[in-house]
């Protein structure tokens, strides 16, 4: 993952059949055919019956930059054991973006990237990030080892680490149930998620697709590639489908909702005055 990261599966509990099994406790019904299992999982996903998906659990070992970890930890329903910079010396690995993802600040969104920089400029950026990190790590080592007289026997690790940039890597064990993992994926696979965490989310998604294929298929169909329509958007579509001319000014849709409708559905509005 990225330049020095990884995601590896340590352990898991349950699979697609465990979800079916749990759902059937609720409904008091027995085992069924494979096709009925698929249909049941899709039904649960479609109707947001989330508790059976909590019956599966996965534990991952992840190495990731601190700024990614800071986004990741906001998902509060997981269990975490992180490498401690108080207890141990942190490694030398830091994140350097590949030149093709070194991009300017987006002008259309306040929290995103626009165009990639030209290769030479991207390289210049990469160089600046690298030099900054190397310099910080050298400071970290000097603070730690105390060999530089007179700092003896070396600064406390918990203080020395404060000089390291958030681009440095950390590691953790992360354990989460499948329902909450799908929620994590929905948010972190989204196009407005930062590229670096999205890269991890894609790897985690591939793991999920292999682990619980029926659930992952239903997740893609009903959540990831599905669409949420507001009341006004649903009305606009309904009118358009029944041949009514939809006029924007009579409708509560915002600019961005109109834009979404047009892009997603080839929607044509009647903009005659």
Active site residues: 188
Q: Is 100 in the site for its own copies (CB under 8 A)?
A: no
Which CB sits closer to its own copies, 248 or 273? Answer: 248
Sign of torsion over alpha carbons 227, 230, 233, 237: positive
Closest CB 255 distance from its own copies, rounded Å? 11
Q: Is 123 in the site for its own copies (CB under 8 A)?
A: no
Q: Look at strands 169-177 and 57-65 and give their pairing.
A: antiparallel
Q: Is 121 in the site for its own copies (CB under 8 A)?
A: yes
Residues counted in the chain: 273
Which CB sits closer to its own copies, 8 or 273? Answer: 8
How many Å apart are CA 240 and CA 233, to the nearest integer?
10
Which window, 30-38, 76-84, 198-206, 207-215, contacts its own copies (CB under 8 A)? 76-84
Closest CB 127 distance from its own copies, rounded Å? 11
How many Å apart are CA 137 and CA 163, to the nearest integer?
8
Q: What are the backbone dihedrals phi and psi of residue 177, each rounded to the nearest 5 degrees, phi first?
A: -85, 165
Nearest to 246 by CA among 266, 271, 215, 229: 271
Q: Is 136 in the site for its own copies (CB under 8 A)?
A: yes
How many Å apart are CA 254 and CA 260, to the nearest integer?
10
Which CB sits closer to its own copies, 195 or 202? Answer: 195
Q: Is 16 in the site for its own copies (CB under 8 A)?
A: no
How many Å apart are CA 153 and CA 147, to the nearest integer?
8
Q: Is 118 in the site for its own copies (CB under 8 A)?
A: yes
Q: Is 77 in the site for its own copies (CB under 8 A)?
A: yes
Q: Is 189 in the site for its own copies (CB under 8 A)?
A: no
Which window, 1-9, 30-38, 70-78, 205-213, contacts its own copies (CB under 8 A)? 70-78
How many Å apart are CA 92 and CA 161, to the nearest integer?
12
Which CB sits closer to its own copies, 185 or 273? Answer: 185
Pick from 1, 161, 205, 214: which binds its own copies (CB under 8 A)?
A: 161
Asked if residues 133 and 91 have their Cβ atoms less than 8 Å apart, the reply is no
Pick from 88, 108, 191, 249: which binds its own copies (CB under 8 A)?
A: 88
Which CB sits closer to its own copies, 261 or 273? Answer: 261
Peptide bond into 68 cis (omega under 30): no
DSSP 4: T
Q: Is 64 in the site for its own copies (CB under 8 A)?
A: no
199-218 binders of its own copies (CB under 8 A): none
Pick from 4, 17, 22, 269: which binds its own copies (CB under 8 A)?
A: 22
Closest CB 206 distance from its own copies, rounded Å? 19
Q: Which residue has the tokens 């060999």?
A: 147
Q: What are the backbone dihedrals phi and psi of residue 272, each rounded to the nearest 5 degrees, phi first?
A: -70, 140
């Amino acid at each position: 993952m990225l330049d020095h990261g990884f995601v590896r599966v340590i352990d898991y509990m349950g699979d697609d059949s465990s979800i079916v099994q749990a759902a059937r406790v609720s409904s008091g019904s027995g085992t069924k055919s494979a096709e009925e299992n698929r249909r049941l999982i899709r039904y649960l996903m479609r109707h947001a019956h989330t508790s059976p998906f909590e019956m599966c659990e996965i534990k991952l070992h992840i190495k990731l930059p601190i700024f990614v970890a800071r986004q990741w930890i906001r998902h509060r329903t997981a269990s975490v054991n992180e490498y401690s910079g108080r207890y141990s010396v942190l490694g030398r690995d830091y994140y350097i973006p590949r030149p093709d993802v070194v991009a300017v600040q987006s002008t259309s969104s306040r929290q995103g990237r626009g165009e990639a920089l030209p290769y030479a400029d991207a390289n210049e950026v990469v160089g600046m990030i690298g030099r900054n990190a190397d310099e910080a790590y050298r400071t970290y080592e000097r603070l730690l080892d105390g060999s530089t007289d007179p700092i003896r026997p070396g600064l406390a690790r918990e203080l020395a680490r404060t000089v390291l940039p958030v681009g440095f890597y950390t590691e953790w064990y992360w354990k989460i149930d499948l329902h909450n993992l799908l929620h994590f994926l929905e948010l972190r696979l989204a196009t407005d998620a930062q590229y670096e965490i999205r890269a991890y989310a894609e790897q985690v998604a591939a793991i999920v697709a292999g682990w619980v294929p029926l659930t992952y298929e239903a997740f893609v169909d009903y959540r990831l590639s599905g669409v949420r329509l507001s009341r006004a958007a649903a009305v606009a579509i309904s009118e358009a489908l029944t041949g009514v001319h939809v006029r924007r000014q009579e409708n509560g849709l915002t600019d961005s909702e109109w834009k979404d409708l047009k892009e997603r559905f080839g929607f044509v509005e009647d903009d005659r005055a």
